[in-house]
């Protein structure tokens, strides 16, 4: 038996038919063999043994707290599926099919993962769609799984299925004693952090009276926008890609991080979408985005916490928008680390848990909103990877919709491209595919604006030299 952490348990406790808490990844493969999909399917059906977390079933213990129970039997036919693409076989038809798969709530009577193979796509491509509950794995764990699953060379040797990879195991000398020690240590650490949490909370709410004291958004003060509609279970997805070289060029020129450039580009596209739908936002949008709270540069572990980040104003020019987001992002990191990364993480988890609880109680339409959407950026392999000998052309992520939010943007870097996965509620944002070209245009606009600003500075310097 393995108890779930607070944040993982929240994905279980607050899940509903309208807000499924699973994530998905779409792998587009270009095999040479026309029978590739069938052969892959037959091979995977023979992989009956699964390792954690793929052999765990969700159970509810005393007090309603969920925990994982390991199962020795796995009916592989309940997890691996072969589909024929819709008759059109084009990208749009495939997206509609995948949106339907992504809409379906996962069956808790079995391990919470699925693997879907789709053949019959135009150009001979094969789609592999992997679906897993967020309580099993977050974006960073999935990225690590992808890195383990894929090969750097076009090796046609059959490799293990992803659910058969061995995960690191800790020694079990005295499980009960170890659990008691870990619980006591964690409790002591949280008690020690209470003063820092109180100070951080106090400074956050003091911004209501002194707006310049902090750039951290105050919960429940974001403007309700077109994106803040209560989602239902029907999903619509869209995908696109951006050249990483352009993003890194902007990052190097401005000193902005890749995440800050991504936020600026998405923010501009979101405002354009709202304007085109005659629902412009008067205040800056507020996004939830994982922020790396690493203190020691030599620390190899990731310390990500969901943070509220205030983006740019609607009327900002591209360069101004990036500057505003850089200031917001860096001040949030500075303040969080100044108080305590643990205190900041506790405050973020509590805020997001409160948002999930409000959605569960269906109070989101009566209360102000905490944020407008989630934007996350997950790093992936930099070079081409192969799966069972077939090259992978793209890897696109799809994520969850939180209560009171009908939009999620998740990005995954792969093979010199940043792949954009958009998940939305079909009833609220049925034409969300329009956001994809808006994002591409926003990146181009930012590049051109930076060039224009640079030329203006050069002209000003030349003018001074003449005089």
Give per-residue pLDDT as tens, 389-425.
Answer: 899 999 999 999 988 899 999 999 999 999 999 999 9
The average pLDDT across 371-400 equals 93
- Report the interhelical angle of 435-466 vs 318-339 (nearest 10°): 100
**Contact present, 450 and 254 (Cβ < 8 Å):** yes
The average pLDDT across 359-385 equals 87
Q: How many CA atoms lie within 13 A of 374 on its CB side?
A: 26
In which band, very low, low, confident or very high, does the pLDDT at 216 lie, cut at 50, 70 and 90?
Answer: low
**Contact present, 399 and 21 (Cβ < 8 Å):** no
**What is the reported pLDDT for 453?**
80
Identify the CA nearest to 446 among candidates 208, 285, 249: 249
In which band, very low, low, confident or very high, does the pLDDT at 340 lie, cut at 50, 70 and 90?
Answer: low
- The most distant pair of C-alpha atoms in the chain lies apart, rounded to whole Å, by 83
Q: 18-22, 69-73, 296-300, 304-308 — which is least confidently predicted?
A: 296-300
Alpha-carbon span 316 to 405, nearest angstrom: 24
Alpha-carbon span 27 to 393, nearest angstrom: 8
Alpha-carbon span 317 to 456, nearest angstrom: 15
**Contact present, 117 and 99 (Cβ < 8 Å):** no
In which band, very low, low, confident or very high, does the pLDDT at 221 lie, cut at 50, 70 and 90?
Answer: confident
Q: Residues near 299 by Cβ (< 8 Å), separated by ≥ 6? A: none
Among 175-189, 289-303, 310-324, the range with the most confident prediction by mean pLDDT is: 310-324
């Amino acid at each position: 038996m393995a108890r779930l952490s607070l944040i993982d348990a929240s994905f279980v406790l607050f899940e509903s038919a309208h807000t499924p808490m699973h994530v998905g990844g779409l792998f587009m493969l270009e095999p040479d063999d026309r029978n590739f999909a069938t052969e892959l399917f037959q091979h995977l059906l023979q992989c009956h043994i699964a390792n954690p977390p793929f052999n765990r079933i969700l159970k509810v213990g005393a007090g309603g707290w969920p925990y994982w129970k390991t199962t020795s039997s796995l009916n592989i036919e309940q997890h691996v599926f072969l589909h024929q693409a819709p008759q059109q076989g084009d990208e749009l038809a495939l997206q509609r099919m995948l949106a339907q798969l992504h809409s379906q709530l996962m069956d808790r009577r079995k391990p919470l993962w699925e693997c879907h193979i789709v053949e019959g796509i135009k150009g001979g491509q094969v789609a592999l769609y992997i679906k897993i509950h967020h309580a099993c794995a977050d974006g960073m764990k999935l990225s690590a799984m992808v890195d383990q699953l894929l090969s750097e060379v076009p090796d046609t040797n059959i490799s293990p299925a992803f659910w058969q990879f061995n995960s690191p195991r800790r020694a079990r000398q005295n499980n009960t004693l170890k659990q008691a020690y870990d619980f006591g240590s964690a409790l002591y650490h949280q008690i020690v952090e209470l003063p820092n949490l109180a100070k951080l909370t106090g400074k956050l709410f003091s911004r209501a009276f002194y707006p310049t004291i902090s750039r951290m958004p105050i919960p429940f003060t974001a403007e309700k926008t077109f994106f803040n509609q209560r989602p239902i279970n029907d999903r619509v997805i869209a995908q696109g890609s951006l050249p990483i070289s352009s993003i890194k060029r902007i990052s190097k020129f401005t000193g902005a991080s890749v995440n800050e450039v991504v936020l600026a580009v998405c923010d501009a596209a979101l405002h354009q979408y709202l304007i085109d739908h005659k629902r412009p936002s008067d205040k800056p949008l507020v996004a939830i985005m994982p922020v790396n709270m690493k203190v020691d540069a030599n620390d190899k572990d990731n310390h990500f916490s969901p943070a509220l980040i205030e983006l740019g104003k609607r009327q900002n020019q591209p360069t101004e928008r990036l500057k505003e987001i850089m200031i917001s992002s860096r001040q949030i990191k500075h303040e969080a680390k100044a108080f305590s990364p643990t205190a900041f993480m506790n405050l973020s988890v509590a805020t997001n848990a409160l948002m999930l609880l409000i959605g569960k109680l269906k109070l989101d339409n009566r209360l102000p909103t905490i944020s407008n959407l989630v934007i996350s950026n997950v790093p992936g392999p930099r070079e081409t990877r192969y799966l069972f000998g077939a090259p992978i052309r793209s890897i696109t992520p799809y994520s969850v919709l939180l209560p009171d939010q009908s939009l999620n943007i998740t990005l995954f870097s792969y093979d010199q491209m940043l792949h954009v996965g958009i998940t939305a509620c079909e009833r609220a944002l049925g034409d969300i595919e329009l956001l994809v070209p808006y994002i591409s245009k926003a990146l181009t606009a930012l590049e051109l604006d930076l060039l224009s600003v640079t030329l203006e500075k050069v002209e000003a310097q030349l003018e001074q030299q003449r005089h």
